[in-house]
Amino acid sequence: MTDESTLSALLAGTVARAGDGPAFFVGDDAFSYAWLDEKSRRAALGLSTMGVRPGDRVALWLPNLPEWPALYFAIARLGAVAVLVNTRFRSAEVQDIVGRSGAKALILAPGFRAIDFAGILAGVDPAALAALRWVVTVGDAPKTVLPGRDQYTSEEVFAAPPGTFDQATPATPVTIFTTSGTTRAPKFVLHRHGALAGHARTAARSFGYDQPETVLLQALPYCSTFGLAQALAAIAAGRPTVMLPTFEANAAAGAILRHQVTSFHATDDMVSRVLDAAPAGDRPFPSLRSVGHARFNPALADLVERGERQGISLFGLYGMSECQALFARQPVDAPLGRRKVAGGVPISADAAVRVRDPENGRVLPAGESGEIEIKGPSLMIGYDGDAEATAEAFTADGWFRTGDLGHMDRWGGFEFETRMGDVLRLAGFLVSPAEIEAQLQADPAVGGAQVVSAAGADGTRAIAFVTLKPGSTFDEARLIARCKAALAGFKVPARVFSLDAFPSTTGPNGTKVQRRALREMAEAWTRAPAAR
């Protein structure tokens, strides 16, 4: 049974239970759930008076500020759709997403010191934003942000009386996340109220946020499914979050100590930086019980062990924009080896996972690798404006094709291995690059490893790239010999190359290695003479 409702109803339930309790801590300031409710109601009427109507698209391009959730819930109450724009995006990306989504309003904070909103907008072609009618600025702003648009301040929007309406139903579309779009324009992942509200309540129970001492750290940006899923779960539980406008490791460590944070979720590189910033001692963060992490950086394979040494239980997660973050998790009390793995058991009793052979369609037993397919109440409506991509994303019997390679495990859950596009086909076999990368990373000189494939005179072979630990020397022959001693011959890299850093892109859900760029390098470099 699901807990579907509108997002306004979700917030109203929390206000009834914990209205005077803190929703956010921002520096020295605290903001209550009653404040959030009133501000969102005022903004809903203010945006409506401005001209926003049910179904309209409103681009929300803000850092983590108290105004973000207030405006998000206002957009939801209106029955409009929030288009979440990453603050790391630059002119071409903002132009494409705001323009292609058909957003009628753009909300931004041009005076925010850490992000050059005005400079980014200066590179946007106003003609590309044909549907855009209104601009709302949070904080200080130039007199005119975009010529030819009606401009309002957030103070003007919040000055309206509190609205008493809710123009949405559980089926009403409410949020658009953007995919990373490495080889094509980003897809617009469209979610409805019921999926977000139901998932928030389920996550609150699964992660124990309903415990009275719970305090969460909101280091992830609200604009990502990773950040929004945690934020909505905290709201469903009526517990406070410590809001960081942008992530900075020392600030995060200080906030954990000051506010007695008990839990948070983050990417592996963010968690690593927080651990590095921790005070000295066996248990530098005494209040911190557990941290869910997403595995993106292969150089951080020992992260769970580092957490254990500091008294923190780290556990793997699984999710994506299409099914929302926190879709599945490893148990916090599981053995260390299991907690290191991305994947786990779906948090919803109404969700299911299976693994299918991508070639013959056979559903595979535990231990056999194939494409992960999922069903569940947290799934998207579809890719907005792209019926063809939506149809391709679902099987004939209604399962979502994740595009991830993985296998079912012996505990009734699953393990994520890699993206299907990153799978290597070597000697007729599907091979996860992680298997080869693990052997390379076991070498004491190697800081990180990435493996792709490239066609050569003797067929398609694995090609490896490594980064070195400080003071280490690159020895290609030694690394190849290590792989030969542990792996089948067809898995052994034909070449290993050393890089100062892997090419990467940073999106709202974290920093990811650009394997496509590595494949292009591999195709070119396989023709180069072997290292001597």
- Whether 226 and 294 have beta carbons less than 8 Å apart is answered as yes
For residue 349, give both structure tokens: 């009793």
Contact between 238 and 269 under an 8 Å Cβ cutoff? The reply is no
- What is the spatial distance between Cα 233 and Cα 211, in angstroms, rounded to a whole number? 12
Q: Given this model, what pLDDT does residue 428 score?
A: 60
CATH classification code of 247-421: 3.40.50.12780
**Residue length, the chain?**
532
The tokens for 493 are 């890299």
What pLDDT sits at residue 504?
Answer: 83
Q: Distance between CA 10 and CA 237 in Å, rounded?
A: 10
Which of 350, 355, 368, 365 is CA-nearest to residue 403?
Answer: 355
Per-residue pLDDT of the chain (532 residues; tens, 9 = 90+): 468 999 999 999 999 999 999 999 999 999 999 999 999 999 999 999 999 999 999 999 999 999 999 999 999 999 999 999 988 888 888 999 999 999 999 999 998 877 888 888 988 988 899 999 999 999 987 778 888 899 999 999 999 999 999 999 999 999 999 986 544 678 999 999 999 999 999 999 999 999 999 999 999 999 999 999 999 999 999 999 999 999 999 999 999 999 999 999 999 989 999 999 999 988 999 999 999 999 877 678 899 999 999 999 999 999 999 999 999 999 999 999 999 999 999 999 999 999 999 889 999 999 999 999 999 999 999 999 999 999 999 999 999 999 999 999 999 999 998 878 777 878 666 677 888 998 899 999 999 999 998 877 667 889 999 999 999 999 999 999 999 888 878 889 999 999 999 988 766 556 678 878 898 888 887 665 544 3
CA 367 to mean position of chain CA atoms: 27
Assess contact for 509 and 224: CB atoms under 8 A.
Answer: yes
Same fold, 33-191 and 424-525: no
The pLDDT assigned to 338 comes to: 94
For tokens 């020397």, what's the residue?
Answer: 473
**391 Cβ contact list (under 8 Å, min separation 6):** none
CB contact set of 116 (below 8 Å; sequence gap of 6+): none
* Segments making up each domain of the chain, as ranges: 33-191, 247-421, 424-525
| pLDDT in the model for residue 96 | 92
189-200 pLDDT tens trace? 999 999 999 999
Looking at domain 33-191, which CATH architecture does it have? 3-Layer(aba) Sandwich (3.40)
Q: Which residue in 89, 42, 94 sits closest to 67, CA to CA?
A: 42
Is 1.10.260.40 the CATH number for 424-525? no
Query: Around 357, how many Cα atoms within 13 Å sit in the side-chain half-sphere?
Result: 9
Within 179-310, where are the H helices? 193-206, 225-237, 249-259, 268-276, 303-309
**Burial group, residue 98, by CB count within 10 angstroms (0-12, 13-18, 19+):** buried
Instruction: Give the integer Cα–Cα distance in Å for 464 and 448.
Output: 11
Q: What's the pTM?
A: 0.84
